Amino acid sequence: MNYTLELGIKAKNAEPSIAGASTKSKNNALAAISKALKENAALIISENAKDLQTAKENGMSEAMQDRLKLDEKRIEGMAKGVDELIAMNDPIGQVIDGFVRPNGLKITKTRVPLGVIGIIFESRPNVTVDAAALCLKAGNAVILKGGKEAIYSNICLGKIMREALEKTGLPADIIQVVENTSRETTNELMKLNGYVDVLIPRGSARLIQAVVTTATVPVIETGAGNCHVYIDKSADIDMAVNITDNSKTQRPSVCNAIESLLVHKDIADAFLPMIAERFKSHNVKIYGCDKTIEILGNSVEKATDTEYATEFNDYIIAVKVVDSIDEAISHIRKYSTRHSECIVTQSLDDARKFQHEVDAAAVYVNASTRFTDGGEFGYGAEIGISTQKLHARGPMGLSELTTVKYLIDGNGQIR
Amino acid sequence: MNYTLELGIKAKNAEPSIAGASTKSKNNALAAISKALKENAALIISENAKDLQTAKENGMSEAMQDRLKLDEKRIEGMAKGVDELIAMNDPIGQVIDGFVRPNGLKITKTRVPLGVIGIIFESRPNVTVDAAALCLKAGNAVILKGGKEAIYSNICLGKIMREALEKTGLPADIIQVVENTSRETTNELMKLNGYVDVLIPRGSARLIQAVVTTATVPVIETGAGNCHVYIDKSADIDMAVNITDNSKTQRPSVCNAIESLLVHKDIADAFLPMIAERFKSHNVKIYGCDKTIEILGNSVEKATDTEYATEFNDYIIAVKVVDSIDEAISHIRKYSTRHSECIVTQSLDDARKFQHEVDAAAVYVNASTRFTDGGEFGYGAEIGISTQKLHARGPMGLSELTTVKYLIDGNGQIR
C-alpha cells in the first residue's frame, strides 16, 4: 500500500481513541511525553547531531544551524511546554451555545476535536513536540511532516512520544512522523481528503504558498506579517517613539514585528528625528519617502514599492510621511498582510476610524504590535497566528484546533 | 484585462463600502432589492422564459425545468426572503469575547465581514437572490457564478439588485453576476486568491468535489447527506416508526433526509413490519440485509455496499439489522457523510454513547434528522449546511459569513 495513504489510515483508525479520551487520560499522556523527553535527552542530542553533521557538510548558515540544534536546555524547554498544556482547560466538551426551540427540541452546540491534523513545517525540530502536544490536548490525531534537514531529530522525537503514548494505554498512531521526506509524499499528504481533516503549514511564506496552491485538504494559513505602525498627528510623541521602537526592534525576526512606519505630516518634523535617534542604537537601516529624506537627511535610502511590500524580518524599516489618516489606511490596505496594525493617537475619532477601517487580525490603538501572540493574549501555547479569515484569525490556541457538533435532544419531534 | 480578474478587482474595491456600511444602510439596500424584484416581476419572467426555452430545446427533464422556472409566486417568495433578513440582527460588530490583560491591554474579539464571497451554484436562479442578500446583510461583497442553463435569469436578477444598490447610495459592484459561464472563467474564479476570500459551492456532490479539487481559495463544503436513523433495542416503537418515516419521506430530495435505517436485532421483529407498512403508503423501495429480508420477505432487495453508500435523495432506503449499538456506530462511521445522524432509544447510556461517539454536524436523540436546517435551528435564512469541520459545521447563517478581528486598546504598552 502507498506509504502516505497508510499514514492516513492509521491516523483515522487512531482518531476515535484520542477524540473520546478523557481529560485525565490526555493529561497522563502529556506527562508521560514530558518525562520521556527529559529521560531521553542524550538520545535526542545524539540523533540531532547527525542532522547537524549533514547541515555542516551542506554548508548551512550558522543561524539556520542554530535553529536546528537541540541541547539539554532546549529539550527542557520542550518538556516544559508540554507540562504547561496539562494545566490548561480541556477545550473538548465546552458548550458554546445552547437553546430550546419552540417545539421542545433542546439544541446544544459543543466543542469536539477536528479529527486528524497534518502539520507541514521546516527546520525547527521543536515544532514536532509543540504541535503534537497541542493536537493531542485538543483530542486530535496528528501527522507531522518536518523538513529533511531535521529528519533524524524528528523521527527520534516521534518515537519517544509514541512510546510514551503506548505506556499510558493510548495508541501510538495518534502521533505519526512522516519518515519519507520526498516531495511526492508531501504532495500526497496535501491531497489526503477523507483522512486528513486540516493542514497547517508552519514556516516560510514560500512553504505556506506551496501548501495553499497544492492542497485539496482544507488549509489554515499562518504567518506572513507585513505590519505597520501609523503615528497620527495627535500622538503622544514619547509613546510613539517607544511603541515604534518596540514593534520594530524587540525581536525583528518574528511575524508581529513591524516592517513599515507611517507618520502624519504634521508630526513628522518632531517625531522622525527622535525615532531615528532611537533606531541608531539598534543599527536599524531606514528606507524613506522624499519627505522622510528631507527631514532625516541622506543616511536614509529612497523607499520604493518593493520596500513597502517587503517583510524584512530584520533591523530594516520603510518609512512614509502621509497627508492624512485616510492615506495611511489606504497604504495599509495596499501593502498589509492583515496580521497586526497599530495607530498611535490621542484622538478618539481617529482611533475608532482606524480600528473600523483597517482589516487585520489584530488592530492596536497605542500598544506595540508585538502583543499578537497566544501567550500575550492569555491563550497559552499557540500553533501559529492565522492570517486568513476562515475558521481562525489571529493567535490559534487549543480552541482553534477544534470544531463543533450539534447535539439535539428530543422526545419524538418530527416535521 | 482578464475578465475574471476584473470581477475580483471590482469586488475588492467595493468591499470597504459594504464592510463599513451601517445596519440601517444595509437594511435600506435589502428593502430596495425586495421592492425592485416585485416591480420587475414581468421582466424577470420574460428573461427566465429564454432559459426555459433553451432548456426545452436541450431536452431538460420536467423536474429540472421546474427548478429553473420563476413565476409571480416564486419571485414573491424571493422578495419575502430578502425582507425577512431586514428584521434579523446584524452579526457585524458583535462582541464575541473581551478581556483585560494583566498589563492593562483591553482585548475585544469582534465579528467583521469575511470580505468577498464567491458562490458557485447550479440551476436554481433563486440562489442568486438568496445568496446575495445574505452576503450583503453580513457586510460582504459577492461574486455569483450560476449555471449556464439559468444565465438569462441570473443576469436579469443581478442587474435588478445592482440598480437597487445604487439607488440607496451603495456601489453596484457589491453584487456581481458572472456573465461568462465558461469553464475557464469558473476555474479562474476558484484561484482568485487575494480577491476572493472564500468560495461556497452549492449544488451536486460532483460540483462540490470539483470546487474542492480545483480551488486554491478557501472553500466551505456544503451538502452531501448520507444520514442514518438507528433504532436501539430500548426504543419506543411508535416513536421509532414516526421518526424513521418522517426522516425518510417528508422530503426525500433534501440533504437532511435519511438514506439508511439501522435496527437493533432485539427490536427488529417488532419494528420492521410496522415501518415497512408505513413505507408502503409512500412507495418507498427497500433494500435490506439478509435478516431484513428474512423478516420482511422477498419484496425487499438485497442491499450491498453500494446501497449503504448511496445518497438516494428519493423514496428508497437501505436497511440493516445490527447486533449492537457498537455495530451501528461502526456502520455510521464507515458510510456517513457526517451530516445528520439519529438514535431512537429510551436508554440514557446509549443516548450518551451515540452522541459522544458519532461524528457528524448534528447528532439527534429521539427526533427527526429533518430538523438540521437554519430555519429550524432558529438561525433564520441559511446559505447551506456545512459538512466539513473548518470554520462552520451544520447550518450556516449570517454569523458563518463573518470572521473576527481583535481590537486591542492600550496606553503605551510595549514588550
For residue A241, the chain B residue with the least C-alpha distance is B412
In chain A, residues with a C-beta closer than 8 Å to the C-beta of B404 are: 393-394
Mutate to test the interface with A, among B369, B389, B396 (most CBs of A within 10 A): B389
Nearest 5°: CA angle at A133, between A380 and B400? 65
Amino acid at A300: V
**Distance (Å) from the alpha carbon of A26 to chain B's nearest alpha carbon:** 17
- Inter-chain CB proximity B413 and A367 less than 8 Å: yes
- Taking only the tens place, the pLDDT of each residue in A42-51 is 999 999 999 9
Residue B108 near chain A (CB below 8 Å): no
Share of chain A above pLDDT 70, in %: 100
- Inter-chain CB proximity B415 and A250 less than 8 Å: yes
**pLDDT for residue B406 is more than 90:** yes
**pLDDT for residue B223 is more than 80:** no
**Distance (Å) from the alpha carbon of B164 to chain A's nearest alpha carbon:** 25
The C-alpha cell that represents B105 in the structure block:
491591554
Confidence of residue A239 (pLDDT cuts 50, 70, 90): very high
Residue A209's pLDDT is 87
Amino acid at B27: N
Q: Chain-wide mean pLDDT for chain B?
A: 95
**Mean pLDDT within B126-139:** 96
- Inter-chain CB proximity A410 and B362 less than 8 Å: no
| Pairing of β B106-113 and β B95-100 | antiparallel
CA nearest to A346, candidates A244, A190, A251, A231: A231
Question: What does chain B come to in residues?
Answer: 415
Question: Where do runs of H (alpha helix) occur along A102-182?
Answer: 126-137, 151-167
Q: Which residues pair with B231 in a beta bridge?
A: B263, B344
For residue A389, the chain B residue with the least C-alpha distance is B403
**Mean pLDDT within A255-264:** 96
- Inter-chain CB proximity A242 and B389 less than 8 Å: no
Picking from B371, B372, B389, the nearest residue to A413 by CB comes out as B371
Share of chain B above pLDDT 90, in %: 87
**Distance (Å) from the alpha carbon of A311 to chain B's nearest alpha carbon:** 17
Nearest 5°: CA angle at B192, between B191 and B193? 95
Question: What does chain A come to in residues?
Answer: 415
How many whole angstroms separate alpha carbon A198 and alpha carbon B132?
Answer: 29
CB A150 within 8 A of CB A124: yes
Residue A205's pLDDT is 81
CA nearest to A199, candidates A90, A115, A111, A81: A115
Residue B253's pLDDT is 86
The interface predicted TM-score (ipTM) is: 0.91
Amino acid at A326: D
Residue B266's pLDDT is 98
- Inter-chain CB proximity A366 and B410 less than 8 Å: yes
- Taking only the tens place, the pLDDT of each residue in B146-200 is 999 999 999 999 999 999 999 999 999 999 999 998 889 999 999 999 899 999 9
CB interface of B with A, residues 181-210, below 8 Å: 193, 197-198
- Taking only the tens place, the pLDDT of each residue in B193-211 is 989 999 999 888 888 889 9
How many whole angstroms separate alpha carbon B328 and alpha carbon B332?
Answer: 6
Confidence of residue B382 (pLDDT cuts 50, 70, 90): confident
**Distance (Å) from the alpha carbon of B201 to chain A's nearest alpha carbon:** 14
Confidence of residue A243 (pLDDT cuts 50, 70, 90): very high
In chain A, residues with a C-beta closer than 8 Å to the C-beta of B197 are: 389-390
**pLDDT for residue B1 is more than 80:** no
Share of chain B above pLDDT 70, in %: 100
CB interface of B with A, residues 32-71, below 8 Å: none
- Inter-chain CB proximity B408 and A362 less than 8 Å: yes
In chain B, residues with a C-beta closer than 8 Å to the C-beta of A355 are: 407
- Taking only the tens place, the pLDDT of each residue in B321-346 is 999 999 999 999 999 999 999 999 99
- Taking only the tens place, the pLDDT of each residue in B228-285 is 999 999 999 999 999 999 999 999 988 999 999 999 999 999 999 999 999 999 999 9
In chain A, residues with a C-beta closer than 8 Å to the C-beta of B99 are: 378
- Taking only the tens place, the pLDDT of each residue in A67-110 is 899 999 999 999 999 999 999 999 999 999 999 999 999 999 99
Residue keyed to cell 502507498: A2
**pLDDT for residue A3 is more than 90:** yes
- Inter-chain CB proximity B372 and A410 less than 8 Å: no
- Inter-chain CB proximity B218 and A213 less than 8 Å: no
- Taking only the tens place, the pLDDT of each residue in B60-105 is 988 889 889 999 999 999 999 999 999 999 999 999 999 999 999 9
CA-CA-CA-CA dihedral for B64, B67, B70, B76, to nearest 10: 170
The C-alpha cell that represents A265 in the structure block:
505630516
Cβ pairs bridging A and B (under 8 Å): 192
Amino acid at B138: A
Residue A382's pLDDT is 86
- Inter-chain CB proximity B408 and A365 less than 8 Å: yes
Confidence of residue B391 (pLDDT cuts 50, 70, 90): very high
Residue B94's pLDDT is 96
CA nearest to A259, candidates A308, A306, A321, A223: A308
Residue B364 near chain A (CB below 8 Å): yes
In chain A, residues with a C-beta closer than 8 Å to the C-beta of B333 are: 16
CB B160 within 8 A of CB B133: no
Residue A224's pLDDT is 81
- Taking only the tens place, the pLDDT of each residue in B30-48 is 999 999 999 999 999 999 9
DSSP state of A233: T
CB B265 within 8 A of CB B321: yes
- Taking only the tens place, the pLDDT of each residue in A289-336 is 999 999 999 899 999 999 999 999 899 999 999 999 999 999 999 999
Residue A108's pLDDT is 98
**Mean pLDDT within A56-62:** 92
- Inter-chain CB proximity A367 and B406 less than 8 Å: no
The C-alpha cell that represents A3 in the structure block:
506509504
Picking from B99, B105, B372, the nearest residue to A367 by CB comes out as B105
- Taking only the tens place, the pLDDT of each residue in A347-388 is 999 999 999 999 999 999 999 999 999 989 988 878 889 988
Residue A75's pLDDT is 97
CA nearest to A96, candidates A85, A83, A112: A112
Picking from B198, B372, B389, the nearest residue to A403 by CB comes out as B389
